[in-house]
């Protein structure tokens, strides 16, 4: 089964700093890739997703992610974070022909005002 | 559309008690799943269903049962609760484009 690794457990940034959260997966076949965000006390919401096509995917709230197949990576980026981006971020993957979704352990982002 | 709904929002059980966590969706999605969320471990798949009458085990199925008698409902049963099952439980359904829609979660404490 596929697995997902998120390298950073807790990231602390000041407002306007740039963000990059790492995500690597282990699966050799076709994959669908996702980033979800969970604001404090809320459920997970989809930020962006990649199925095929342009490997640079743009999501909501200024987030983007780049799929690099050779590195099995799908890192999340944002040029300038805001205090309201404080949340936990989860990378997830499922293979192209099944629905077994696997999540990373999550990265907690704290943005200082 | 209400999306994915879960009840209850909070629950405290004693070891050995049983209970059912309810999940319903009104989007006519075939695929539904249950996850538990624990600190530092992300979401782990407990059970999933690809349609009414069909269920399968996920990553951490032990101690949990599910059934899928209708497309809308996917209850999760704890037959004999244990402290290790203290967690936040999320139900989700998947739309046609593989996007997961999550419910608001149930916070369960087992004493």
The tens digit of pLDDT for each residue in B33-64 reads 999 999 888 899 999 999 999 999 988 999 99
Residue B21 pLDDT more than 60? Answer: yes
User: Could you report the per-residue pLDDT of B63-109, keeping only the tens digit for each?
Assistant: 999 999 999 999 999 999 999 999 999 999 988 777 789 999 999 99
Is B19 a residue whose pLDDT tops 90? yes
Q: CA-to-CA distance for B88 and B105, rounded, in angstroms? A: 6
Strand B10-13 with A45-50, pairing: unpaired
Which structure tokens are listed for A36? 């979800």
Number of other residues whose CB lies within 10 A of the CB of residue B109: 13
Residue B36 distance to chain A (closest CA, Å) = 11
Q: Cα dist. A5→A45, B42, B75 in Å?
A: 19, 10, 30
Q: Which residues of B touch A43 (CB under 8 A)?
A: 90, 102-105
Alpha carbon of B26 to those of A22, B2, B3, B69, B104: distances in Å? Answer: 35, 7, 6, 15, 15
Residues of A in contact with B32 (CB under 8 A): none
Check CB contact under 8 Å for A105 and B41: yes
Torsion angle of the four alpha carbons B8, B10, B13, B18, in this order, in degrees rounded to the nearest 10: 20
Closest to B102 (Cβ–Cβ): which among A43, A99, A104? A43
Residue A97: both structure tokens together: 């022909």
Residues 6 or more apart whose Cβ sits within 8 Å of residue A28: none
Answer yes or no: are the C-beta atoms of B77 and B68 closer than 8 Å: no
Q: Which residues of B touch A48 (CB under 8 A)?
A: none
Give first-to-last CA distance, chain B, whole Å.
Answer: 36
Chain B nearest-CA distance from A83, in A, is: 22
């Amino acid at each position: 089964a596929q697995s997902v690794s998120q390298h950073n457990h807790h990231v602390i940034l000041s407002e306007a700093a740039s963000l990059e959260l790492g995500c690597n997966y282990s699966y050799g076949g076709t994959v669908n890739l996702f980033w979800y965000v969970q604001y404090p006390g809320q459920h997970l919401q989809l930020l962006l997703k990649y199925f095929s096509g342009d490997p640079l995917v743009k999501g909501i709230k200024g987030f983007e992610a780049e799929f690099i197949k050779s590195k099995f990576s799908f890192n999340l980026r944002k040029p300038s974070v805001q205090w309201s981006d404080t949340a936990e971020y989860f990378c997830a993957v499922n293979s192209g022909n099944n629905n077994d979704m696997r999540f990373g352990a999550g990265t907690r982002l704290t943005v200082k005002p | 559309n209400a999306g994915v709904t879960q009840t209850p929002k909070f629950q405290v059980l004693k070891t050995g008690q049983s209970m059912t966590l309810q999940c319903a969706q009104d989007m006519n999605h075939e695929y539904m799943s249950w996850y538990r969320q624990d600190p530092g471990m992300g979401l782990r798949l407990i059970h999933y269903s690809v349609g009414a009458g069909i269920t399968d085990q996920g990553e951490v199925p032990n101690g949990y049962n599910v059934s899928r008698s209708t497309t809308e409902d996917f209850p999760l049963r704890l037959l004999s609760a244990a402290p290790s099952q203290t967690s936040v439980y999320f139900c989700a359904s998947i739309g046609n484009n593989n996007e997961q829609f999550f419910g608001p979660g149930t916070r369960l404490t087992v004493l």
